[in-house]
Amino acid sequence: MSEESLSPGNTSDTVPAGGPSRDEVIYRLNRLWIGDSAFRETGVFDVAGLLNTDSTVRLEPALEVSGYQIREVIGSGSFGVVYRAYDSQLNRDVAIKIPRPEVLADQAKLRRFEGEARAVAKLDHPAIVPIYEADLNPPTPYLALAYIPGPDLRQFLAERTAELPWRDAVELVTELAQAVHYAHECGIQHRDLKPSNVLLLPRNSANADSASLKDFQPRLTDFGLAKLSRESLEETGSSMVVGTPLYMSPEVFSKGASDGNPGAADIYSLGCLLYELLTGRPPITGDSYVQVIDRLREERPELIRRLRPELPASVETICRVCLEKNPAARYASAAELAEELQRAAQGEPLMARRSSWRKRLLYWMEQPQRVRAAGWYSLLFHLILLSWLCVMAATFHLFIPMTADEYRNQMLEGIRVLTTVDIPMVLIAVMTIKRKRWAVRSGVVMSFLFTSYMVAWRLGWVKFFENIYREENYHSHATFFLIFFAAVIELVLYNVALVSISRRPPDQDT
C-alpha cells in the first residue's frame, strides 16, 4: 500500500454506516503510539479484523502528541490507553489518555470517550484525578490528566500479605465516598468503581514501596463509563454492562432497574471496595463473567465478621447496607455513607443500627433463591400427595372388598382432589421454579385455599375423604395433621417467594 493511500482525503473504502471511513481510521492509527510490545518491535499493526480487509498496514509510532512527549504505557481503561508523558512547557509529567483503535473506529464509543472528558472537566475535588487539557478533534483525540506516581489500589492489595488495619480501610473509603458524593452532586455517576480505578497518591514524602494505606490519598480515575444524570438510557445502553461485574450492583444488569436512587450503584461498589479491603476478596466471586452475574443475583456475601471476627459490628452493618440487593435499601447518598464510616471509625453509634430480627427476616425473605425453594417444596409435596392417592386407589381395588358404588365414589373423590389441587399445584410449582410471577401469585392463592379447605374439613364444615376413610378416625386424623402442616409450610414459603419476586425487576424473570 502506498503512502499516498493513507491520506485522510482518500475515502473510497468505508466501514459500516455511522463510522469513520477506512482510511480515516488508518490515518488516526498512524498518529498513535500503540501500547503493544509487538508493534513497538516491528512497527506493524494488523487492522484486518478492525477494517474488514485483508491488508496489513505498517504504521510508525508517534513519540509526541500535541506537544506532550510520550514516555511509557502506564495503564489502560475502558476506552483508552494511558501513557506517562512529559509536558515540556510546564516542566511536569502528565497522564495522556488516547482512545483505543477500536474506539476510533466506532463513533458511539468515541462519543463515550468524549463524554469522559466532559464528565471529568466538571469535577474539582482532591480525591478525583483532575483533567488539564483535552482535544476531542481528529485525528488524535486525547485527554491530559494529572499524573499520579503511586500505585493503584489493586496493585497495592496484590503486593500486601498482611491484613489491613480496619480503620485505614474505613478512612480510605470515607474519602472515596465523599468524592463520589461530590460527583453525584455534579450530576455524574461513576459506574465503574473498582480497585484499579483508585490511584494512590503518596502523602508528603511517603515511600510508596513501604507505606501503609493511610500514607496515601486516594484519587478516583477512569470516568469512561460515567453517566450524566440527565443522559438518556438509550445513549448508555451499549455500555451498561461494560466493566468488572465483581464490583457492579445487581440492578446494573437489569434493563428494568429503577433510577429512583441514581447513586445506588456507586454506593454498592463502594461497599465492595470496603469489603475487599477488610477481607482480601470481593464479596461475590466466580470463575466466569456469567457465573459472577448469577451469584450476584442469587447469593448474599459471607458475613464479614465470619472472616474477621475482631471487626466492630458497626463496620459489618455498613457493608451489609451498602451491599443490599434492593437499591432502595442502601444508603440514600454517598454522603450518608461517609458520615456512617466516620462514626464507625470514631466508635460512635450508627444511624443505621444493627439489624433487628425483623430486618434480618426481611433480608432473608428478599433473597432470590426463596422463589425456587417454594417451587421445589410445592412440587415434591403435591407429587407425594398424588402418588399417595394413586397407591390408595390401587390398594382399595386389590385388597379391600367394596361394592361398585363404593369403589366409584372413592375414585371420584380421588379424581376431584387430583384435578382441583394436586395437578394444578404441580404445574404452578414447575413454573415457580422458572420464576414466573404469575405462578408465584397463583401459588399463594391456591395454597391459601387448600389450607383453608383443610381447616373447614377439620371443623366439619365440609366433607373430605369421606369415602376413603369412612369410619377409620385414627387414619383420618393422622392424615389431616400431616397434610395440614405441610400445606401451612407451603403457604408460608409461597408468601416468602412473593416478597422475594416483588423486589426483582421484571426483566430478571426467566
Alpha-carbon 157 to chain mean position: 22
The pLDDT-based confidence of 236 (bands split at 50, 70, 90) is very low
Distance CA 417, CA 399 (A): 22
Can you tell me whether residue 18 is helix, strand or coil? Answer: coil
What's the pLDDT tens digit per position in 7-38? 333 333 333 444 555 556 555 554 454 444 44
Alpha-carbon separation of residue 454 from 247, 465, 475 (angstroms)? 49, 11, 15
CB atoms within 10 A of CB 83: 24
Beta bridge partner(s), residue 427 = none
Mean pLDDT of 419-424: 88
Q: HEC profile for 217-271? A: EEEECCCCCCEECCCCHHHHHHHCCCCCHHHCCHHHHCCCCCCCCCCHHHHHHHH
The pLDDT-based confidence of 496 (bands split at 50, 70, 90) is very high
pLDDT of the residue at 228:
53
The more confidently predicted of residues 362 and 5 is 362
Q: Which CATH class is domain 3-146?
A: alpha beta
Closest CA to 224 of 166, 143, 147, 293: 143
What's the pLDDT tens digit per position in 366-386? 777 889 999 999 999 999 988
Query: Does residue 50 have a pLDDT over 50?
Result: no
Query: Does residue 303 have a pLDDT over 60?
Result: yes
The more confidently predicted of residues 397 and 239 is 397
pLDDT of the residue at 252:
78
The more confidently predicted of residues 334 and 351 is 334
The architecture in CATH of the region 153-354 reads Orthogonal Bundle (1.10)
Alpha-carbon 24 to chain mean position: 37
The pLDDT-based confidence of 416 (bands split at 50, 70, 90) is confident
Active site residues: 192
Mean pLDDT of 165-192: 92
pLDDT of the residue at 24:
60
Query: What mean pLDDT value characterizes the chain?
Result: 76
pLDDT of the residue at 22:
54
